[in-house]
Amino acid sequence: MVGGEPGGGIPHIRQKIEDAYGANVQECMGNGDMLGLMWAECEYKNGMHFV
């Protein structure tokens, strides 16, 4: 899971990570002051969804 990491939202960088580690890369966004996880990408990688 990536959240603000450089390249985490760039498709060809994500593909390189998935290929190298056999991982499923998904993106999330949070706020440490109010809520640990506010938005997350679904398993279909069809955009961010409010959690």
Residue 42 lies in a domain: yes
User: Residue 30: which domain range?
Assistant: 11-50
d(CA 28, CA 47): 10
Q: Which residue has the higher pLDDT, 10 or 4?
A: 10
Q: Which residue has the higher pLDDT, 18 or 34?
A: 18
Backbone φ and ψ for 26, nearest 5 degrees, come out as -130, 150
Residue 46 lies in a domain: yes
Structural domain tally of the chain?
1
d(CA 36, CA 7): 21
Sheet holding 35-41, edge to edge: 28-31, 35-41, 48-50
Please give the structure tokens belonging to residue 27.
């993106």
Q: What global pTM score does this model have?
A: 0.63
* The pLDDT of residue 20 is above 90: yes
Residue 2 lies in a domain: no
